[in-house]
């Protein structure tokens, strides 16, 4: 049986977690707060431009045990994205990490955030960029309109993959963009 304690040991786990993440948006900063009241815990991705950038990029991903509280207060990173700022709110639609909850933050949310940060090297995330996730996880991203009723035809940004498959240290990690593009990297990037 999988439980949160496996991630705290050096033992190589034999099973992976699978996370289906439904992203709704895009929201302006003003629209994101009222929309966040429909969610309890979850993720948020910020896209836009930093002052020195000419093109819109993926900038930051965060997680919160209560999204509305996280998006209410002035955010130390969202404010750095000064142009074309859009927010996407993500909820994990797959069953959460089985076992007793050890930490306040759900391990599944933590791993989803960590994999996005590490493999996409998001510029405003300073933590979790140096090492890959400590537990195998496969993440399937899906994108929806703001109300969550209609699936979007295209991903919001060309660098945001449809699938991230982290198997472990001895295996290659797959980052997949459906429609032909695929990147296979070592578990630990150089």
The structural domains of the chain, with segments of one domain joined by +, span: 7-185
Closest by Cα among 71, 63, 65 to 32: 71
pTM: 0.83
The residue length of the chain stands at: 190
Q: How far, in Å, CA of 96 to CA of 148, rounded?
A: 20
26 cis-preceded (ω within 30 degrees of 0)? yes
Mean pLDDT of the chain: 85
Instruction: Mention every residue, 6+ apart, whose C-beta is less than 8 A from residue 128.
Output: 113, 114, 117, 118
Q: Taking residues 2-8, report their average pLDDT.
A: 43
- The per-residue pLDDT for range 98-126, each reduced to its tens digit, is 555 555 568 899 999 999 999 999 999 99
| Site of tokens 């496969």 | 138
| Site of tokens 């209609």 | 150
Tokens of 125: 């995330």
């Amino acid at each position: 049986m999988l439980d949160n304690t496996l991630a705290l040991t050096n033992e190589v786990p034999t099973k992976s977690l699978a996370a289906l993440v439904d992203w709704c948006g895009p929201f302006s900063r003003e629209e994101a707060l009222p929309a966040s009241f429909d969610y309890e815990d979850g993720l948020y991705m910020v896209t836009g431009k930093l002052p020195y950038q000419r093109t819109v990029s993926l900038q930051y991903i965060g997680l919160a045990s209560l999204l509305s509280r996280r998006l209410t207060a002035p955010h130390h990173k969202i404010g750095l994205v000064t142009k074309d700022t859009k927010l996407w709110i993500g909820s994990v639609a797959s069953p959460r990490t089985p076992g007793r909850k050890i930490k306040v933050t759900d391990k599944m949310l933590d791993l989803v955030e960590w994999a996005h940060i590490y493999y996409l090297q998001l510029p405003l995330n300073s933590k979790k960029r140096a090492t890959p996730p400590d537990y195998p996880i496969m993440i399937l991203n899906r994108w929806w309109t703001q109300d969550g009723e209609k699936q979007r035809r295209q991903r919001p940004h060309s660098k945001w993959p449809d699938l991230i498959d982290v198997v472990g240290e001895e295996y290659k990690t797959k980052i997949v963009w459906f429609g032909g593009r695929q990147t296979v990297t070592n578990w630990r990037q150089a």
